[in-house]
């Protein structure tokens, strides 16, 4: 990869309001790494500690207090005090780009970038939420400012630096040729991928509750991602395996299936492999690389192809009331998974589509596709 390796050192001070933010560590593609203070780092490397000690920010607490409570069923998700739509298109939050680095190889079919924006604690969000970005400039078609685009947040609630003052995104640069043979560039994705440190970014949100994590720290969480659909799951997994939280310690099973076209597009691979080293009994990791891998029958290895290798095990997990499925990525991926489950469910006399409706109703089947 021609992109220069980048190392960011984050020596985290004690958080405001008596917090105990210690440090954060992750080994990311192309040398994009966060190294902790010496003592905490040695603990993580030796499998003793997990890194960041998280505290709820005073901003988030204050914002949550303003949310009106409604009489409704108790959610199984971590939705208490969740803030939504604090910033809207007419009055967005203006952050700054702190870091923007390409995380796919030179031979990858397209570019994907990891970027970190400052929030100064003014944009409290949770793992699984999204933010809107309003790109600079005017829409040539109507002469009006560009509309916002939504992106899943790729960082945990305390951010990549562990101080609750940043938010991160994972963005693929959209470039394609239209029917007229013209090269078309996606407005917002190219705006974001071209950002330089120090540039301003107009942000809205946060939004969304569909993809919030389960409350149960002993849950089985099956995560299905294609491409940049990995973003919310990176946020989940950092909270589970790279951070320490008062009142939350993940003791369940996290199982990630990530589908990509080539090995050079396996986003955050080193981070996930480090997590597996830290918690081998709590984290399973399976990649599906469609242009480079095949199954025993010679079929291309898509995410549903990889899942089919574990279909019986997955079906048994899906029959448990503490198993949660999260899916994020390209529209259409759900159908491939339905095709696997229909026959398995039928063997037990269960109609899969009806069963899936029940899973959705009980918040155990969560989908965010585009």
Question: What's 257's domain CATH number?
Answer: 3.40.50.80
Is residue 302 part of the annotated active site? The answer reads no
In 3D space, the residue among 13, 235, 285 whose CA is nearest the CA of residue 126 turns out to be 235
**Is residue 122 in a domain?**
yes
Average pLDDT estimate for 81-97: 96
291/340 same-domain check: yes
**Is residue 235 in a domain?**
yes
Is residue 370 part of the annotated active site? The answer reads yes
233/319 same-domain check: yes
Q: What is the pLDDT of residues 131-159, one digit of tens each?
A: 999 999 988 888 889 999 999 999 999 99
Gap between the Cα atoms of 283 and 238, Å rounded? 12
Asked if omega into 86 is within 30° of 0 (cis), the reply is: no
Q: What is the pLDDT of residues 234-256, one digit of tens each?
A: 999 999 999 999 989 999 999 99
18/98 same-domain check: yes
In 3D space, the residue among 134, 156, 162 whose CA is nearest the CA of residue 212 turns out to be 156
Is residue 87 part of the annotated active site? The answer reads no
| Residue 52 and residue 19 in contact, taking contact as beta carbons nearer than 8 Å | no
Domain boundary residue, one of 179, 207, 235:
207
Is residue 188 part of the annotated active site? The answer reads no
pLDDT at 32: 45
State which residues form the domain around 149: 7-67+76-207
Among 24-28, 49-53, 229-233, name the one with the lowest average pLDDT: 24-28
12/134 same-domain check: yes
Active-site position among 127, 243, 271, 368: 368
pLDDT at 331: 83
pLDDT band at 67 (very low <50, low <70, confident <90, very high): low
135/63 same-domain check: yes
Is residue 328 part of the annotated active site? The answer reads yes
**Is residue 2 in a domain?**
no
45/177 same-domain check: yes
123/195 same-domain check: yes
Phi-psi domain of 35 (left: phi exceeds 0; alpha: psi -120 through 50; beta: other): beta
Residue 50 pLDDT greater than 80, yes or no: no
Gap between the Cα atoms of 198 and 265, Å rounded? 27
* Strand, helix or coil for residue 86: coil
144/249 same-domain check: no
Gap between the Cα atoms of 95 and 162, Å rounded? 17
Active-site position among 170, 188, 193, 328: 328
Residue 64 is given by DSSP the state: H
| Residue 60 and residue 124 in contact, taking contact as beta carbons nearer than 8 Å | yes
Active-site position among 35, 87, 93, 151: 151
Count of domains for the chain:
2
| Residue 219 and residue 322 in contact, taking contact as beta carbons nearer than 8 Å | yes
Active-site position among 39, 200, 316, 370: 370
pLDDT at 136: 94
228/194 same-domain check: no
pLDDT band at 170 (very low <50, low <70, confident <90, very high): very high
196/228 same-domain check: no
Gap between the Cα atoms of 293 and 340, Å rounded? 19
Active-site position among 33, 130, 152, 164: 152
């Amino acid at each position: 990869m021609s992109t220069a390796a980048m190392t960011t050192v984050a020596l985290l001070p004690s958080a405001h309001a008596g917090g105990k933010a210690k440090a954060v560590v992750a080994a990311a593609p192309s040398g994009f790494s966060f190294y902790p203070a010496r003592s905490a780092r040695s603990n993580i490397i030796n499998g003793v500690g997990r890194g960041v000690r998280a505290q709820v920010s005073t901003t988030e607490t204050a914002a949550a207090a303003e949310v009106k409570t409604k009489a409704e069923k108790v959610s199984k998700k971590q939705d208490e005090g969740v803030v939504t739509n604090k910033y809207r298109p007419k009055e967005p939050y203006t952050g700054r780009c702190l870091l923007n680095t390409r995380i796919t190889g030179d031979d990858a079919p397209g570019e994907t970038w990891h970027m970190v924006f400052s929030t100064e604690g003014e944009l409290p969000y949770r793992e699984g939420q999204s933010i809107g970005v309003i790109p600079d400039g005017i829409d040539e078609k109507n002469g009006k400012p560009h509309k916002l685009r939504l992106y899943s947040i790729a960082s945990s609630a305390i951010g990549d630096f562990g101080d609750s003052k940043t938010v991160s995104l994972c963005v693929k640069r959209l470039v394609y040729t239209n029917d007229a043979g013209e090269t078309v560039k996606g407005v917002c994705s190219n705006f974001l991928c071209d950002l330089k440190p120090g540039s301003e970014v107009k942000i809205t949100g946060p939004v969304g509750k569909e993809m919030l994590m389960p409350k149960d720290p002993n849950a089985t969480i099956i995560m299905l991602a294609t491409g940049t659909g990995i973003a919310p799951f990176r946020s989940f997994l950092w909270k589970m395996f790279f951070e320490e939280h008062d009142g939350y310690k993940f003791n369940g099973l996290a199982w990630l299936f990530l589908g990509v076209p080539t090995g050079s597009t396996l986003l955050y691979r080193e981070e996930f492999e480090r997590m597996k080293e830290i918690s081998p009994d709590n984290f399973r990791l399976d990649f599906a690389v469609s242009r480079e891998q095949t199954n025993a029958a010679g079929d291309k290895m898509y995410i549903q192809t990889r899942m089919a290798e574990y279909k019986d095990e997955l079906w048994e997990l899906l029959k448990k009331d503490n198993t949660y499925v999260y899916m994020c990525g390209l529209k259409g991926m759900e159908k491939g998974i339905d095709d696997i489950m229909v026959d398995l469910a039928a063997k037990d006399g269960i109609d899969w589509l009806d069963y899936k409706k029940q899973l959705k109703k009980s918040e155990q089947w969560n989908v965010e596709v585009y």
